[in-house]
Amino acid sequence: MYTDEMRKSAEKVAAARKANAELEPRRMTADEKDKLLATFHPDYKKSEFAELKIGPNKGEKVPLELAELLQGNSRVSPSDIDLSRTDYETDVLIIGGGGAGSSAAIEADEAGAKVMIVTKLRIGDANTMMAEGGIQAADKPNDSPAIHYLDAFGGGHFAAKPELLKSLVCEAPEAIQWLNDLGVEFDKDADGTMITTHGGGTSRKRMHAAKDYSGAEIMRTLRDEVFNRGIPVVDFTAAIELILDESGKACGAVLKNMETGEILIARAKTVIIATGGAGRLHYQGFPTSNHYGATADGLVLAYRAGAKLLYADTLQYHPTGVAYPEQIFGALVTEKVRSLGAKLINLDGEAFMHPLETRDVSAASIIRECSERGKGIATGGGNGVWLDTPMIELKNGEGTIEKRIPAMLRMFEKYGIDIRKEPILVYPTLHYQNGGIDISADCMSGVENLFVAGEAVGGIHGRNRLMGNSLLDIIVFGRNAGKNAAATAKTAKPGKPSLKHVASFADERKKAGITGNTVSPKLLPSYTHGNPRFEAK
Ligand code: MEZ
């Protein structure tokens, strides 16, 4: 499968494997990291950001593609929408059918609220499903939530909102127990002890996994629970605007049937945004590990309704996306591969960095190797570095790859690459939206009765997230959002529904001189445009 040029370099990797396996590359100093990030991390490329001219974050910079959507035109003309009709009525309306939305639905249902999920694709079409390596929780005797907090706070450049990070780490052990009780098949030893490993930037082994399809296993379990409880799921139906009442409280959404284009009205006492990430916006032309619907819709809905965003200028590029073969370009190669001992190696067979630096540092380091240092391996469309997977079995014994990372084995096997015998080519891929909607500790956004959970939230992780803290946050904040939205719904008495905020936003746009005909939320990626089979009606 590899070209002759690639093979020549792969031979150097094989020759140096034993020595590289024994080598402990040093960790970078804080100064070295800062310099590396400033020069090579995509978040620092000024020309790729634009200043927002309107809305709650006016004056702040966000990626060009996001700025266009946040300041875009609504998909509806408020005067055309008949708000007197009611197609759906519920206590808690959850927008998004991934891990956060499902966790929220389960807890709101448990609290006795009437709940409904709407999702533009199907329940489980979400980044949760795509997560591979695991979920963090400090539940071993040598660990504690305080140590987990320090790892995550440092890894996120000391920018996380303390009250959010505190909830994340303190509620983590219970979240794992909850998932275990629901039926998630975590990796365990023969005596039932959970197997845990390191991730980048963790000082303790606290990554719980279900082989290398942890997210799929968690999503499978949550989806079963949603169905078992009989919670209604309205699929192929996108939320295209929030509805607020006269006093500005969230009380529903304008929906659009993705197949027929029909406009529907959902009324609710509280609303939860759990719409996930933005990888399919392909910032700076990066490929993505994200699912098909990751187009930042929740951020657009909330922003237009007046909710502030936090750290929307910071994205996570997972260091190891597939660089070759091109059929799976950008797909995730889980960090667990490095947790199990594989190292990153350059063209000349050198282990050029510690394999478990934090993700922003690792990604920037790979980009430097492929650009300034000229030590990347040509892949046809670009460059990549080697991830020396055979090292895993050299260190841990034969059979480890099949047992611990079978999905990786299968993914490359399809293209004639046996990762037990040959290294693989990787390059950073757009993986996670570090920023999102600003919330308080109870998961409420700046708009009253509008709650947020999962990747659409900003501030839990600061300006960089550690592996396994995202599967954790969808559970912790999903559950909390569900409980709090249900409690609030008990006493909420929504006033007259209105789309005044949509009209005001359009006025603001005009006054600021924003022209352009971009409509948002985007709903589906751009490469569907022009193809009637995939176009959102
Ligand atoms: O938290 C993640 O993003 C994750 C577990 C990814 C991975 O490398 O597997």
CA of 222 to the centre of ligand 1 (A): 19
pLDDT greater than 90 at residue 534:
no
Distance 535 CA to ligand 1 centre (A): 30
Q: Give tens-digit pLDDT for 103-144.
A: 999 999 999 999 999 999 999 999 999 999 999 999 999 999
Mutate to test the pocket of ligand 1, among 213, 332, 472 (most ligand atoms within 8 A of CB): 332
C-alpha 194 to ligand 1 mean position (Å):
18
Q: What domains lie within the chain, and their CATH numbers?
A: 4-40+319-430 (3.90.700.10), 88-314+434-476+495-499 (3.50.50.60)
Residue identifier of the C-alpha nearest atom 3 of ligand 1: 467
Pocket test for ligand 1, best of 127, 128, 129, 132 (most atoms within 8 A of CB): 132
* Ligand 1: centre distance to CA 536 (Å): 30
Give the residue-averaged pLDDT of 481-509. 98
CB-based pocket (< 6 A), ligand 1: 131-134, 334-336, 467-468, 470
User: Among positive and negative, which fits the CA dihedral 487, 462, 217, 296?
Assistant: positive
Residue 494 has pLDDT above 70, yes or no: yes
CA-CA-CA-CA dihedral for 53, 55, 61, 67, to nearest 10: -80
CB neighbourhood size of 532 (10 A): 7
Q: Element (H or E) spanning 428, and its range?
A: strand 424-433
Q: Which residues are catalytic?
A: 368
pLDDT of residue 537: 44
SS (H, E, C) 305-318: CCCCEECCCCEEEE
Q: Name the strands in the sheet holding 115-118, side by side, starting at the edge strand that comes first in the sequence.
A: 233-234, 115-118, 92-95, 270-273, 450-452
Bridge partner residues of 186 (DSSP): none
367-386 average pLDDT score: 96
Say how far apart CA 342 and CA 20 lie, in whole Å: 10
Q: Average of pLDDT values for 237-243?
A: 98
Predicted structure pTM score: 0.96
Q: Whose CA is nearest to atom 2 of ligand 1?
A: 467
Q: pLDDT tier at 530 (50, 70, 90 boundaries)? A: low
Residue type, 332: L
| C-alpha pair distances (Å), 48 with each of 67, 282, 286, 462, 524 | 11, 12, 12, 20, 22
pLDDT, one tens digit per residue, over 221-239 is 999 999 999 999 999 999 9
Place of tokens 């657009």: 300
User: What's the pLDDT at 527?
Assistant: 80
Mean pLDDT, the chain, integer = 96
Q: Which atom of ligand 1 is nearest to the CA of 214?
A: 5
The residues with which 245 forms a beta bridge, in sequence order, are 497
| % of the chain surpassing 70 pLDDT | 98
Are 212 and 404 within 8 A, CB to CB?
yes
Q: What distance in Å separates the CA atoms of residue 136 and residue 173, rounded to the nearest whole number?
A: 9
Give dist(CA 209, CA 198) in Å, integer. Answer: 11
- Ligand 1 centroid to 132 CA: how many Å? 6
- Is a pLDDT exceeding 80 seen at residue 457? yes
Task: Measure 431 CA to ligand 1 centroid, in angstroms.
Answer: 9
For 326, counting Cβ atoms within 10 Å of its Cβ (0-12 exposed, 13-18 middle, 19+ buried), the class is: middle
Q: Phi and psi (nearest 5°) for 146?
A: -65, -40
- pLDDT of 528 reads 63
- Model pLDDT, residue 526: 85
529 pLDDT higher than 50:
yes
User: For position 63, what pLDDT does the model report?
Assistant: 98
Pocket test for ligand 1, best of 217, 470, 472, 473 (most atoms within 8 A of CB): 470
User: pLDDT digits over 148-194, tens only?
Assistant: 999 999 999 999 999 999 999 999 999 999 999 999 999 999 999 99
Can you tell me which atom of ligand 1 is nearest the CA of 316?
A: 3
Q: What is the pLDDT of residues 310-351, one digit of tens each?
A: 999 999 999 999 999 999 999 999 999 999 999 999 999 999
Q: Pick the atom of ligand 1 nearest to 431's CA.
A: 3
Going by alpha carbons, the residue nearest to atom 9 of ligand 1 is 133
